[in-house]
Amino acid sequence: MTAAIVSVAARPLSTAVRHGDVVLADRLHLASGAREGRVHRLLAGALRAQGLTVHTGGAAVAGAEAPRGADAPLVEVAAPAQLPEADGDALLCLVRDDAGSVAVGRAEEALARVLGDWEAAKGDREVALAAPRSFCAGVDRAIEIVERALDRYGAPVYVRKQIVHNRHVVEDLARRGAVFVEELDEVPEGEPVVFSAHGVAPAVRDAAAGRGLRVIDATCPLVTKVHAEAKRFAGRGDTVVLIGHAGHEEVEGTLGEAPDRTVLVQNAAEAARLEVEDPGAVSFLMQTTLAMSEATEVAEALAGRFPSIKAPQSEDICYASTNRQRAVEEIAGRVDLLLVVGSPNSSNSVRLKELAERMGTPAQLVDDVSYVGLEQLRGARRIGLTAGASAPDTLVQEIVANLRALGPVTVTEHQVATENVTFQLPKELRSARKDRARKDLEKTVDSC
């Protein structure tokens, strides 16, 4: 059953809304009583993509006294016959003036386009969920490290760079008291600082020690493995070729292990023309979040250029990247559109989108449901859905829930691997977890 969307004109009752704004009201006040509304983030995102200012969680009043002390944006609507007939319907209110301003006229046009896209996108759908998806062990560990550090030291706890490349994770931790900084000089001396899951160069560690910072290292152990390989290869006199993407934090950290002996190669063309001091003493490493097929292509180009090149003893691309790519390969040929949940700066998420596109499947990288394009859903009856290793699975489930507003949805999961990898917390935080568990137990006992 699809959600009913009722679009009405409204006038502002609070200074939070202006002419030309749109309010998606989650509560409607009538003379006969209050009625709950539904705020669809899919709809809100489509409206914002048209340049409209959208207020979600607003309250609308029709034939009733305006509620006092309400924090939500308030509007007044007329024409009771147009109002939703049941709880759960979406009430879309365009705030307008009687003068018919240019802003309102443009808003009306944009609103009409979105509602047209919504109607065109309605229909039954099949959703193919890729598995594994979402958090990997390294991301789980990094997030828990920040949470345990907040438990032990209290807010603020400083984090150099984003702990993982996901906007929602970072914003959630910031609300709890984490302070994200770009460089260590933003951290007061003596304060705790967490290094992100992507790792840092030795120079960063030295700078932290010089300022007396209490370092908590959240580097993924699989990234630490690549750092160790870089030091070992460089230590025996090799030129170390790092296959990766320039500017990525993981790459910057790995390059910093042996900067005089490490060169970055991003593609097969660069590999084919690479010049080194001693062609007989060359090793290569890989960024852990690369696409398997592209990384293999670059490695083969390096082997053609340097026949005696030495590879790492075990695969550098992490198990999580590999599994999520295999899962996309499993579903990409079955769907009309693949939605990849992940932030634009998430390397492994971007690789999933690119993989689907190489397979001929249209794909969209979305931070959350509000970024899903209604126009792309038109005619797409089979949707593939996955999430990068740094994106919460709750965002995936929210997309499924919002698709149900457009029509019945059948969900199937396609699992290509089972992940049971876990990593230990840093030793200084293991007792913090025990302390928290003991306090929780004491609270339980006190309440009995």
Give the residue, 432 or 341, on which the prediction is more confident: 341
* Beta carbons of 241 and 295 less than 8 angstroms apart: no
Phi, psi (deg, nearest 5) at residue 128: -100, 110
- C-alpha 126/C-alpha 384 separation (Å) is 8
293 is in an annotated binding site: no
Active site residue 413: no
Q: In this structure, which topology does domain 137-221 adopt according to CATH?
A: Rossmann fold (3.40.50)
List % helix, strand, coil for the chain (3-state, nearest 5). Answer: 40, 20, 40
Count of Cβ atoms closer than 10 Å to residue 445 Cβ:
8
Over residues 353-397, the pLDDT tens digits come to 999 999 999 999 999 999 999 999 999 999 999 999 999 999 999
136 annotated as ligand-binding: yes
| 341 against 108, higher pLDDT | 341
pLDDT digits (tens, 9 = 90+) for 323-340: 999 999 999 999 999 999
Distance CA 274, CA 258 (A): 18
User: In this structure, which topology does domain 5-121 adopt according to CATH?
Assistant: Rossmann fold (3.40.50)
Domains 5-121 and 137-221 share a fold: yes
- Whole-model pTM over 0.85: yes
pLDDT at 442 (0 to 100) = 42
CA separation for the pair 362, 366 (Å, rounded) = 13
Q: Is residue 248 marked as binding? A: yes
The pLDDT of residue 57 is 87
Q: Domain residue spans in the chain?
A: 5-121, 137-221, 229-305
CA-angle at 311, arms to 307 and 313, nearest 5°: 145
For residue 392, give Cα distances in angstroms to 84, 132, 177. 33, 12, 19
Per-residue pLDDT reduced to its tens digit, 188-201 = 999 999 999 999 99
Task: Determine the Cα angle at 394 with ends 392 and 397, to 5°.
Answer: 130
Least confident range from 30-34, 91-95, 120-124, 337-341: namely: 30-34
> Residue 390, annotated ligand binder?
yes
User: Which class in CATH covers the domain with range 229-305?
Assistant: alpha beta
Q: Is 346 annotated as a binding residue?
A: yes
Catalytic residue among 76, 250, 257, 354: 250
